[in-house]
Amino acid sequence: MLYLWLKSAHIIFVIFWMAGLFMMPRFFVYHQESAVGSEEDRKWIEREGRLRKIILNPSMIITWVLGLALAYNIDAFSQGWFHGKLLIVLLLSGYHGWMMAYAKKLARGERTMTDKKLRLVNEVPGITAAVIVILVIVKPF
């Protein structure tokens, strides 16, 4: 029964994390449209900070903890599909870190990416989620 509770909580926090990963690049697109140092700029900095502190970082940490507990519970560390999933989740965590760094750049007034590129990177969470679901459900290897 504990396994089912862990699995349920893991999926819930994955959903929270993914929601934040979808929201943050969209925030960046709108943030970049504001003038550096303006009231709107300060509001976007605050919004991004709240998203990071309330949703993104806690959800990522809880997702990792629950995911590793589940993997241990089912001895997934010896299964090929899990190695693939782990690699994708590591890459997604790196993407998360990149977003946190980009938020800090925006807060400093640096606008280093175009709106088009930000819209493209917004696709990363969806693609990784699809790959992870296939690995977990289909277990192709």
pLDDT at 15: 98
The pLDDT value given to residue 121: 93
Rounded mean pLDDT, 1-26? 96
Query: What confidence tens digit (pLDDT) does each residue in 99-120 have?
Result: 999 999 999 999 999 999 999 9
Q: Report yes or no: 28 and 118 within 8 Å, Cβ to Cβ.
A: yes
Q: Which residues are annotated as a binding site?
A: 10, 85
Mean pLDDT of 17-40: 96
Percent of the chain with pLDDT over 70: 100
Number of C-beta neighbours around residue 28 at 10 A: 25
Q: What is the pLDDT of residue 43?
A: 98
Tell me how far apart the alpha carbons of residues 39 and 49 are, in angstroms, rounded to a whole number: 15
Please state, in angstroms and rounded to a whole number, the distance separating the CA atoms of residues 71 and 113: 37
At 83 the pLDDT is: 97
In the predicted model, what is the mean pLDDT of residues 80-94?
A: 98
Annotated binding-site residue numbers for heme: 10, 85
The confidence score (pLDDT) of residue 14 equals: 98
Distance CA 86, CA 110 (A): 33
The pTM assigned to this predicted structure is 0.93
